[in-house]
Amino acid sequence: EQDGKVVEYLLKVLVVGDLGVGKTSIIQRYVNGLFDREYKATIGVDFAYKLIPISKDKVVRLQLWDIAGQERYGNMTRVYYREAFGAMIVFDLSRPNTLDSVRKWKADIDAKVRLPDAKQTPIPVILLANKCDMVKNSINPAQLDAFCKENSIVKWFETSAKENINVEESCTHLVKTILEIE
Ligand code: GDP
Ligand code: MG
């Protein structure tokens, strides 16, 4: 822009998954560069923002929606999902049963939010296999590839909020995927 104005786009992204999988830790790591062993589980919805420069005159204000206290139901209200453009579903590699819940979360997302296009396309979702610092060789890449394909998930990443592995990469991948759609 000649007048030097920067246009800001607000992008709402959901972070869901079972209790204790590391949702808040991933958000804190990504947004603040920090890892804390204890995050208080406030009841309700929390927001965190990250500014992502896209070009000289464009910046994305990524709005990450964290949840607390409602994870055990495996579903959220439509209000929570409204106008989201993407989602991350997190599971805990040290608790394999948290992967089973991913299907439930994906179905809930698809049932309650769609992109504002004519085709009502489901929003892009990525899968975070978190706490990879805790387990050795527990990932079967072919199996996770198949899982993603089966559940229409864009891509999976093994992450560690603790050791700062793939947190930035996965978030950036989701944002890029969203921006390509628009
Ligand atoms: P949430 O309920 O999904 O928001 O999970 P939290 O972010 O509160 O994390 C639950 C517990 O797992 C906390 O004790 C975190 O310190 C721990 N945790 C989160 N991410 C990681 C990780 O990548 N590695 C390890 N070792 N622990 C983690
Ligand atoms: Mg939390």
Query: Per residue in 43-88, pLDDT tens?
Result: 677 889 999 988 899 899 999 999 887 887 777 888 889 999 999 9
pLDDT of residue 138: 79
Please, what is the Cα angle at 78 between 73 and 82, to 5 degrees? 130
Query: In angstroms, what is the span from residue 119 Cα to ligand 2's centroid?
Result: 33
Residue 110 or residue 182, greater confidence = 110
Query: Is 33:168 a contact under the CB 8 Å cutoff?
Result: no
Query: In angstroms, what is the span from residue 4 Cα to ligand 2's centroid?
Result: 39
Alpha-carbon distance 27 to 39, whole Å?
11
Question: What tens digit of pLDDT does each residue of 121-167 get?
Answer: 999 999 999 999 999 887 899 999 999 999 999 999 999 999 999 99
| Nearest ligand 1 atom, CA 25 | 7
pLDDT of residue 4: 80
On whether the pTM is more than 0.90, the answer is: yes
pLDDT class for 181, splitting at 50, 70, 90?
Answer: low
Which ligand sits closest to the CA of 132? 1
pLDDT of residue 41: 65
Alpha-carbon distance 45 to 7, whole Å?
27
Is 1's pLDDT higher than 90?
Answer: no
All residues at 6 or more sequence positions from 15 whose CB lies less than 8 Å from its CB, including other chains: 23, 26, 27, 64, 65, 66, 67, 87, 88, 90
Q: DSSP alpha helices (H): ranges in the chain?
A: 23-32, 78-81, 97-112, 141-150, 167-181
- Three-state SS for 138? coil
Residue 174's nearest CA partner among 80, 44, 84, 70 is: 84
Residue 91's nearest CA partner among 27, 23, 151 is: 23
Residue 42 exposed, middle or buried by CB count within 10 Å (0-12, 13-18, 19+): exposed
Please list every protein residue whose CB sits less than 6 Å from any atom of ligand 1. 19-25, 37, 39, 130-131, 133-134, 160-162
pLDDT class for 2, splitting at 50, 70, 90?
Answer: low
